[in-house]
Amino acid sequence: MRIPNQILLFTSLFILVLSPSCKKDPIVLNNKSIHFDVLAQNLEDAFGPGCVGFQYSISQNGTLKTENAIGKAILAIDGPETNYTVNHRKSVHSMTKTITAAAMVHALEANGISVDAFIAPYLPERWELSPEVDDITFRELLTHKSGLRGTRDSYESMKTYMEAGGFSTKDVSTSVGYANVNFTLMRILIPMTSPIVNPALNDVLNTQGGESFDNMVSQGYIAYVRNTVLIPAGVDEEVGPYLWDTDEAEATRNYNFSNQSLNGYIHTDQTLLTGAGGWYMNTHDYSAFLAYLFHSQLPGIDQDEMISGELGMYVGKYGSLDYYTHNGAINNALDQGGRAEWIQIPSSDVTMVVQINSAENAFSTSEITGMMLDAYLDSYY
């Protein structure tokens, strides 16, 4: 689909390239050293036996230290059996939210809009919004404290929900308030925050209807994320929320680790559903994005605001260790799916990204954070 030039809002930025380090010597901190070869082996030992396929990248100070993949990307039932490699890509699930948050913060800053501004003026003018929407801010969406609930990933489901109202109490803990709809709305809000694009999109909605608007705004979101967040980080310019780098026969499948007699599945095209999930990347791609997010000083994304405000990420503590993180998970009706998580440790500036192409693993989703941090701590001596 060809998008009018005024909708793309391309920003010219230099690229922060995530390249392999020439050295893998231990990094000395507080008279202790991080041994990256040990950290890599710890991750493989922790995750490898308990899932179908496992992929990881480890970086420090924004520079790649090591990466690998073990297990299978495709099992023999889907043949031919294929080893999982560092080049295989799949959906990063809800780790997409950190990407969307970075793009949303960029769009707000680029257009002089506060993160504490209300979202209602930037939603489609033909939506007959519930009065409850008037009190929702961008910050509340970015922190899951808006009172919105559910997935609501399609255009019609978002429109119906935002018009009907009946939202939950705001300012609850994110463990209760976490809902995909907060970020699927950003698929619309990111292009709609531009004073140039907003009238053009509303005109499409008024003259051509919701389907054309949905296609236009979704393509605008993808273009904005690519051109302000991912391509500047060094990620391939074709990256998208769909299978883009290979054909289906060679694509990574998603499995049920506990029942490998089931054919795996490939995530469908998420163009009209993305925002909260769906971007197809490998851990190398995602590490490049995180290097950009945490180390670039490019205008347009306030990293300190994202971290302190926990916008699209969470700040945690594991014993005395502080860290930033976001994970992702999905299951279908047959309990097939995938898992993903990134962790950034500010004290050593070490970043770990993992991808798993199965659900119902030998470990629970809630255990992944601790497994990653234990692997890190056991390599730091």
By C-alpha distance, which of 306, 288, 316, 359 is closest to 93? 359
Amino acid 204: pLDDT: 97
Amino acid 28: pLDDT: 62
DSSP, res 118: B
Token couple for 166:
């009946």
Q: Where in the chain is the domain with CATH 3.40.710.10?
A: 27-98+243-377
CATH number of 27-98+243-377: 3.40.710.10
> What's the pTM value of the predicted model, to 2 decimals?
0.92
By C-alpha distance, which of 121, 152, 125 is closest to 210? 125
Amino acid 32: pLDDT: 84
DSSP, res 380: B
DSSP, res 265: B
pLDDT per residue, tens digit, the chain (381 aa), is 333 333 333 232 223 334 344 334 555 667 789 999 999 999 999 999 999 999 999 999 999 999 999 999 999 999 899 999 999 999 999 999 999 999 999 999 999 999 999 999 999 999 999 999 999 999 999 999 999 999 999 999 999 999 999 999 886 666 678 999 999 999 999 999 999 999 999 999 999 999 999 999 999 999 999 999 999 999 999 999 999 999 999 999 999 999 999 999 999 999 999 999 999 999 999 999 999 999 876 557 888 899 999 999 999 999 999 999 999 999 999 999 999 999 999 999 999 999 999 999 999 999 999 999 999 999 999
Residue type, 223: A
